Amino acid sequence: MLACTGPEPVVGIDPAEDVAALPYSSGTTGTPKGVMLTHRQIATNLAQLQPSITAGPGDRVLAVLPFFHIYGLTALMNAPLRQGATVVVLPRFELETFLAAIQNHRITALYVAPPIVLALAKHPLVAAYDLSSLKHVISAAAPLDAHLAAACARRLGLPPVGQAYGMTELSPGTHVVPLDLMEEAPPGTVGKLIAGTEMRIVSLDDPGKDLGPGESGEILIRGPQVMKGYLGRPDATAAMIDEDGWLHTGDVGHVDDDGWLFVVDRVKELIKYKGFQVAPAELEALLLTHPGVADAAVIGVYNEDGNEVPHAFVVRHPSAPGLTEGEVMMYVAERVAPYKRVRHVTFIDGVPRAASGKILRRELRTAHKEPS
Q: Taking the C-alpha atoms of 235, 241, 242 and 247 in order, what is their torsion angle to the nearest 10 degrees?
A: 160
Where b means 16+ CB within 10 Å and e means fewer, 39-56 reads bbbbbbbbebbeebbebe
41 located within any domain: yes
Residues 86 and 157 in one domain: yes
Strands lying side by side in the sheet with 198-202: 198-202, 217-222, 247-255, 261-266
Residues 123 and 170 in one domain: yes
Q: Is the peptide bond before 172 cis (omega within 30 degrees of 0)?
A: yes
Residues 193 and 58 in one domain: yes
Distance from C-alpha of 197 to C-alpha of 219, rounded to nearest angstrom: 13
Residues 109 and 210 in one domain: yes
Residues 157 and 114 in one domain: yes
φ and ψ at residue 269, rounded to 5 degrees: -100, -5
Residues 255 and 291 in one domain: no
pTM of the predicted model over 0.75: yes
Which of 247, 267, 287 delimits the end of a domain?
267
Which of 267, 297, 321 delimits the end of a domain?
267
39 located within any domain: yes
Residues 106 and 246 in one domain: yes
Query: Which residues on adjacent β-strands are paired with residue 222?
Result: 198
Low-confidence ranges of the chain (pLDDT < 50): 28, 370-372
3 located within any domain: no
Residues 323 and 208 in one domain: no
244 located within any domain: yes
pLDDT given at position 364? 92
Residues 181 and 221 in one domain: yes
Residues 210 and 278 in one domain: no
10 located within any domain: no
Please tell me the total count of domains within the chain.
2
Please give the sequence-ordered ranges of beta strands (E in DSSP) within the chain, or none if there are none: 19-21, 35-38, 60-63, 86-89, 109-112, 136-139, 162-166, 173-176, 192-193, 198-202, 217-222, 229-230, 247-255, 261-266, 271-273, 276-278, 293-302, 308-316, 344-347
pLDDT given at position 372? 36
pLDDT given at position 24? 87
Residues 63/90, Cβ–Cβ less than 8 Å: yes
Residues 53 and 122 in one domain: yes
135 located within any domain: yes
CATH number of the domain encompassing residue 286: 3.30.300.30
13 located within any domain: no
Distance from C-alpha of 214 to C-alpha of 224, rounded to nearest angstrom: 27
1 located within any domain: no
Which residue range(s) make up the domain with 324? 270-367
Which of 214, 236, 267 delimits the end of a domain?
267
Condensed to tens digits (0 to 9), the pLDDT of residues 52-90 reads 999 999 999 999 988 988 999 999 999 999 999 999 999
pLDDT given at position 29? 54
CATH number of the domain encompassing residue 109: 3.40.50.12780
Query: Which residues on adjacent β-strands are paired with residue 111?
Result: 138
